Structure formats: C-alpha cells, structure tokens
Structure 1
Amino acid sequence: MSIQTTQFRPTEQVVAQAQAEGKRPGRRTAKVSAALSLEGGAARLLTVRDPYAARTASAGQFVNLYAPDPSAMLPRPFGVARTDGDELDLVYQVIGRGTAALARLKPGDEVDLLGPLGRPYDLSRPGDYLLVGGGLGVPPLIAAAQALSQRADARAIAVFGYQNERFADPLVAASADRTLSISEPEGDVITLLDRFEPQLDPARSAIISCGPTAMMKAVAAWAAARSIPAQFSLEERMGCGYGACVACAVDTVDGRLKVCADGPVFTGEQLGWTNA
C-alpha cells in the first residue's frame, strides 16, 4: 500500500499562490520519484519532484520533510544534495521513527516538504574549493560540487571521511574535479588535507565543510593555520526551520544565532573556531 500525506496541497498550487502574493511558498505536497539504498546500505537516497525547490535551492540550503507518520510531528531537515530539472536528491540515514517512515516511501508516494531554507555557502570567489565532509555531512557538499562544476574559474576537490562505507563518493565524483576519501581505520579528513597540502595554493583556496562538530573544529584550526577562508554548515536539531521556535540557537561571537535562519552556514570566525 502506498503511503500518502495529502493534508497539504500539491506543490504547483502552493507555489502559484505564493508567487501571486509575492511570498515564498509554504508547506506543500511533493511526489517521490525515486527511493533507494546507497552503496553498502549506510545511507539512503530520496528523490522528490518539487520544481520550486529544485530550481531555487543553493548549496548549503536544506528542506524540511514531514514524515508520513502522525506520531512524528516535527519535520526533519535534510541538506539538498543534488538537483536535476524539477527534482532534488536528499541523502539520509535511518536513525529513528521519522526517518524509518521516510525509508518506507516508494516512487509515486507523496511527502510534505518546506523550503529551500537557510543561508547557503558563498561560492562567489574564484579558485579551488576543498569540500571537507564527514559522514552524513556530505550532502550539501555534493550540491556545492555540482554548482562549481558549472564554473570555469573554480575547481571542486571533495575531501570526505567515513566511518566505513564510502557511500557518497559516486555521487560527488560526478561533479567534483577530484575526490579524496578515507575511512576511520585509515585516518580522517585531516589526514587527507595533510596529504593534499603540497598541491595546495592557500592564496587561491577556500574550504567549505559539513559534518560532526569535532571534525569541523579541527578543519577550522587547520584552515586558520594556513590563512585559508573556511565556511561551516552546522547540524542542529530544528523545530520549525525558519527561526520561530529558537530550538537550534548556537553561540557565536555575535551572540546566540539561529542555525536555521542565520545559518546553517557560518564562517570559522563567526563561530570562534579560528583559534581552536
């Protein structure tokens, strides 16, 4: 039996009304195009059709998905991994009741979403971008690689660390100029950065990162020691996704800021990590 969440209107109707009123579209119902397990079963890929989100999302932004389980009331935020025409890809792990319900979705099912939300990475400068990710922090970096692949003045070098299965390598390799990855028995992303450093020109390089906080703090220290600008996408529990509930507030040098609305992307300086 297909899982249906039809309490909200189809995406085309919601978007059309919002645009007529000069607003951003709210929660709406989208169709699932694909749902599959990635290499090794460590993560899953969900493709949904939402023309507005697919055409307006920038690398680092996220969408909220509402699990087709009435007991899972709060949405789940997922960084946009890739876009293709009217569709967007989301990568996630099954870690609780909400994501377990999402894992049961099949092509043709419906799911409610909101977004894209948040402040994206700044990819405006030319040069080499090191996309440093760990675990389930890699999806927004895949989107960054896709965006940078359209540029003649920039290169994307993926630097991914995994616990075991390197599930995202095939996804990012489709867009990145180079893909470096490592699993825990071999080392971590700092190991990869140290290996790559002889080929690096700090003056024309930048780092964008997402993953566990401890990993990102280590990356921030590594970047600061070489005067390389770095941006970090934080992962926090969220209630609403647009700044109303203040559930995702974090400490920064500018005071408490909301990850969903003021971020999720912050610089190392904003986070006070450059002297870590």
Structure 2
Amino acid sequence: MSCARTFLQTNPEGRAYLPSRRTVEIVGHELLTESIVQLTVRDEYIAQHAQAAQFANLYSSNSLQISPRPFGVAEVHDDEVTFLFAVVGRGTEEFRDKQVGDTIDILGPLGKSFDLSEPGRYLLVGGGLGIPPIAHAAQKLSGRSDVQATALLGYRDVHFADEMLMRHCSDVRAIENEQGNVITLLDQWLAEQDGDARNLSDVHILTCGPHPMMKAVASWAFKRDVKAQMNLEERMGCGYGTCVVCITPTIHGNQKVCIEGPVFTREELGWE
C-alpha cells in the first residue's frame, strides 16, 4: 500500500525537512452550527502537499495551552486550507473566537494518508467530526475517470458538511441518528449494486469517525471481503511521534497514530 506520510521539502544541500511551525493568516471563518467551526487559513505548503487523511497542528496563543490541536484537512483551494472542528474546550474556544485577518501558528501536513492509488468504487464513510478527511478524499478523487465515489455520512442531527462533499462527489448520502447509521447506508448502497454486489473486489472503503462506528464498518467490510482503510481519531500530544500519547494496538504491536497512522487497514488493526 503506497500511503503517503509526512511530506518533506528539500533544502539546497539535498536534505529533507519538514517546514517548522509557522504563522499563517486566517482567511475564512464560519460557524456551521453552535459548536462546529469552519476555519480556512492561507498556507501554500500544506495546500500543495497535504494528502487525504493528513492533518495539521494548530497552536494556541495562550502559553498555558502547551499541546497543539490536530485537525484533519477538509478541503484545499489554491493556497487556502480548510478545517472543520468542534468546540470542546479552551483551545478550540480560542480558535472559534478568531476572526478573518487574525493569525494562527500551524505545523503540517502530518501523518499517513489514505491510499487512493487503485481504481474502482470508493465508499467514503464519515461520521460526525470524522467527515473532514473524507471530504478531502472526495476532492482528491474527483475528476478521475477510473473511480466512482459515493459519500456515506452519519450525523447526530445537523448536516453541516453535505454541501462541501457535493462539490466533489456526485453521490452523497446522509443519515441522522433517528433514521439509522452509516451501516444502514452501506446496506442500501449494496442493495442497489445488482450483479455487482456479488463481486466487490474493486470496492475500497475509506472511513473516519467514532471508534464504534468504524469498528462496525470494519465488520461490514470483513464479512464481504471488502478492502477498508480506517482513519483513527485519537487524542494526541505533540502530533509527530515524540510524546507517545496516541498509541493504538495493531497486529504489529502498539503503534503511534500520529506518525504510523492515522490511517490503518482493517487487517492491520485486527478488526473483523
């Protein structure tokens, strides 16, 4: 699997390096719901190099907030990079209160990306705040003649990302908790495949969301021998492998989600 890891630049001596933490300008800021923010910054390096499922660290200007917040890239246009995040504490409250024209410190892109190299049918399964990397995957797949992409989105209530997905994916299906879940959407999609449902060898599931949701998706894929890549959401400290906070068990032993992930196959995680 040819998953991209953290992208490095090359200096004049030919040595690879990751651009250091830097200050960027906020060029877009919108409250999508009472607690979900769409934040866009101008950063040419991330815009050029970020792959689907990679993330960036955003840093608080409060010196007491030591750890950065890792946000998955949701969309890229020219030199502008968009993130979606929920307001859950002091750090994200600070980002919510930022305005267009303000600045913020950033580091990235970080982590291992989805593998989008193969042709076929892609099912982009996102739940809640796991939807941003799914949206970026849809953007990366859009325009390719060798793939057919379907977005399957699960929400608690407000459909805050449908419009973003529709810009890149012609088939977007969404469901709320009271109607069912993403497994409901997967079953509906499968029922529509007619003869193609017997041969799913060209199907690739990319998923991100709460662990119970992703484990249910992995089980659905396992029962049908479908390839699946899981983008894990874990609490992180540094975001680049130093602090050893974001450990997850795999068949290869404990691994760091921030640098050996966040993308793992269902086989690597042992999820069935």
Deviation at 1:203, TM superposition (A): 2.2
Report % sequence identity.
Answer: 48
For structure 2, the residue ranges without an aligned partner over 5 or more in a row are: 1-7
Residue number among 111, 115, 119 corresponding to 1:126 in the alignment: 119
Residue number among 24, 42, 45 corresponding to 2:18 in the alignment: 24
What amino acid does structure 2 have at the position aligned with 1:203?
S
Match of 2:250 in 1: 252
Residue number among 50, 66, 70 corresponding to 1:73 in the alignment: 66
Deviation at 1:68, TM superposition (A): 2.5
Deviation at 1:42, TM superposition (A): 4.6
After superposition, residues 1-276 of structure 1 pair within 5 angstroms as 19-20=11-12, 22=15, 23-38=17-32, 40-200=33-193, 201=196, 202-274=200-272
Deviation at 1:155, TM superposition (A): 1.7
What amino acid does structure 2 have at the position aligned with 1:52?
Y
Deviation at 1:132, TM superposition (A): 0.4
| 1:220-272 deviations in Å (ceiling 9; x for gaps) | 00011111100000011111111111110111110000000000000000001
Task: State the alpha-carbon separation in 2 of the partners of residues 100 and 68 from structure 1.
Answer: 12
Task: State the alpha-carbon separation in 2 of the partners of residues 230 and 140 from structure 1.
Answer: 15
Deviation at 1:19, TM superposition (A): 3.6
C-alpha contact 1:42 1:167 (8 A) present in aligned 2 = no
Could you list the runs of 4 or more consecutive aligned residues of structure 1 that deviate by over 6 angstroms after TM superposition?
none
Deviation at 1:72, TM superposition (A): 1.5
For structure 1, the residue ranges without an aligned partner over 5 or more in a row are: 1-14
| 1:95-141 deviations in Å (ceiling 9; x for gaps) | 10000000011111110000000000001110111000100000000
Task: State the alpha-carbon separation in 1 of the partners of residues 45 and 249 from structure 2.
Answer: 32
| 1:16-70 deviations in Å (ceiling 9; x for gaps) | 9x744631201111110010011x4351100000000111000010000002322
C-alpha contact 1:51 1:86 (8 A) present in aligned 2 = yes
| Superposition TM-score, scaled by structure 1 size | 0.91
Query: C-alpha root-mean-square deviation of aligned residues, in Å?
Result: 1.4
C-alpha contact 1:61 1:116 (8 A) present in aligned 2 = yes
Deviation at 1:73, TM superposition (A): 1.3
What amino acid does structure 2 have at the position aligned with 1:142?
A
Q: Secondary structure at the match of 2:122?
A: strand
C-alpha contact 1:67 1:98 (8 A) present in aligned 2 = yes
| 1:132-184 deviations in Å (ceiling 9; x for gaps) | 01000000000000000031101211000000001010111110120010000
In structure 2, do the counterparts of structure 1 residues 42 and 178 end up closer, same or farther at CA, with 3 Å as the change threshold?
farther
Deviation at 1:204, TM superposition (A): 1.7
